[in-house]
Amino acid sequence: MDISDLIAPEGVMVPLKVTSKKQALQAMARRAAEMTGLNERVVFDVLLERERLGTTGVGNGIAIPHGRLASVSSMHGVFARLARPINFDAIDDQPVDLIFLLLAPESAGADHLKALARVSRLLRDRGMCEKLRGAETPEALYGLLISGRASQAA
């Protein structure tokens, strides 16, 4: 599974200007809704529900909020680089500035887990994260995200 299977160019947001975890999730849910035709509130609610189970702030300035929806037919991603890092209740208590949101069909099962693992592997690469933090345009960020696919195929 390649990152290009999960995210389209219009799924990249930079710089996302928010001051809280809630604002970040709302803005990204809005973009996901625009891309998928889903109801923005439904997307936001599934993300909040997942956050209540435990933070998706995985450390090193990265968060991977995710959820499953019966009304989505394939996986969709939204990536944001924040203008300023925010508190995301991350496991290392560090602020977050790179967020990859992933939505999957309720029936995705193992594919959802594979997609999460793929995103996690990409964002665990410190060199990649430095490049993502330095990119200025959505096009540059998208190019970086999908360039990691060949060397880190799932």
Told to judge if 66 belongs to the known catalytic residues of this protein, a careful annotator would answer yes
Tell me how far apart the alpha carbons of residues 149 and 118 are, in angstroms, rounded to a whole number: 9
Catalytic option among 31, 66, 81, 112:
66
What gap in Å lies between CA 99 and CA 13, rounded to an integer? 10
Q: How far apart are CA 80 and CA 98, in angstroms?
A: 6
N-to-C CA span, the chain? 6
Phi first, then psi: give them for residue 28, nearest 5 degrees: -75, -35
The residues carrying an active-site annotation are: 66
